[in-house]
Amino acid sequence: MEIKKVGVAGCGLMGHGIAQVSAEAGYEVVVTELNQENLDKGIAKIEKQLGRAVEKGKLEQSEADAIRGRINPTLHPHEFAECDLVIEAITEDLEMKLDFWKQVDEVAKPEAFFATNTSSLPVINQAAATSRPDRFLGLHFFNPVQRMPLLEVIQSVTTSPEAMAVGMAYGEKLNKTTVETRDKAGFIVNRLLVPYMLDGIRGLEEGIGSIEEIDTAMKAGAGHPMGPLALSDFVGLDTLASIGNVMFDEFRERRFAAPPTLRKLVAAGFYGVKSGRGFYDYSGEKPVPVNPGL
């Protein structure tokens, strides 16, 4: 089945990016939010990015207008009725996601495919709550969606080969690097990256180096663009802790457990870049390492 119209639920950090790259690939897009303020914020981010691309000469004004014209922002999920593929990028909360799919399942056409962008929840829990578990898959984008090339295409125990083919074709049309994976907590990237970041924090606790030394060593010695502690701040310490908790519940292995320093920073509201402080203080021109008081 050819996908022409894509529905995106949530216009936050991930949703606005998914809506934008889908429209850039030529799809008609319906994007929804819980309230007008969040919807306006997400659409403003898309318009800003398109404007910047025009300024830099990467896009003609007419192309930017056409991309924006393909995006239909709305507060009414019943506008998903005509979509061939609906992707949810709403808050990482299973109850909220199940409520959302209940509403959409009633209005979407029976042949439409559904996908979740969840980072840590099992895809099957959402798939099984709809009338079409065979047409339900995971499409896991990376932040920022416009820049990161990877799309993990996730097969749950019920996902049909046809649904996987639709997910792969959609990713290829977006010009993403598509990788098929299975419905195991963390999929591929987080399965490897989360224990690495948590180990960076444990290394700090054990005194192998300071924040700056650990990050500098991994950049200069392993060729990583960011060290593990700066990367943790970028991902969000709250997000990192919650993905770690889900993976620990699933696998019961220490390497996935959030170390005490991470728990304390989260409890203090120090979430990293987004809150202005984590392992670094972001209030000045350059991030400055802050010893978490070990």
Ligand X SMILES: NC(=O)c1ccc[n+]([C@@H]2O[C@H](COP(=O)([O-])OP(=O)(O)OC[C@H]3O[C@@H](n4cnc5c(N)ncnc54)[C@H](O)[C@@H]3O)[C@@H](O)[C@H]2O)c1
Question: Residue 154 to residues 7, 176, 231, 288: CA-CA distances in angstroms?
Answer: 18, 15, 24, 38
- The answer to whether residue 140 is catalytic is yes
Distance CA 32, CA 38 (A): 9
- The answer to whether residue 119 is catalytic is yes
Catalytic member of 33, 140, 156, 232:
140
- The answer to whether residue 60 is catalytic is no
Q: Which is nearer to ligand X, 59 or 136 (CB)?
A: 136
Q: Assess contact for 200 and 250: CB atoms under 8 A.
A: no
Tell whether residue 289 is a contact of ligand X (CB under 6 A).
no
- The answer to whether residue 131 is catalytic is no
Q: What are the strands, taking DSSP E only, across the chain?
A: 5-9, 28-32, 71-74, 85-88, 113-116, 136-140, 150-155, 177-182, 280-281, 288-289
Tell whether residue 33 is a contact of ligand X (CB under 6 A).
yes
Catalytic member of 22, 156, 190, 232:
190
Q: Which is nearer to ligand X, 59 or 89 (CB)?
A: 89
Q: What are phi and psi of 40, to 5 degrees?
A: -60, -40
Minimum distance, C-beta of residue 151 to ligand X, in the bound complex (Å):
10
Q: Assess contact for 243 and 197: CB atoms under 8 A.
A: no
Q: Which is nearer to ligand X, 27 or 80 (CB)?
A: 80
Q: Counting runs of H as helices and runs of E as strands, what totals does the chain give?
A: 11, 10
Tell whether residue 143 is a contact of ligand X (CB under 6 A).
yes
Distance CA 181, CA 248 (A): 20
Total binding residues toward ligand X, as defined by CB under 6 A:
23
What is the per-residue binding string for ligand X in 83-122, x denoting contact by CB under 6 A? Answer: ------xxxx---x---x----------------xxx---
Residue ranges binding ligand X (CB under 6 A): 9-10, 12-15, 32-34, 38, 89-92, 96, 100, 117-119, 140-143
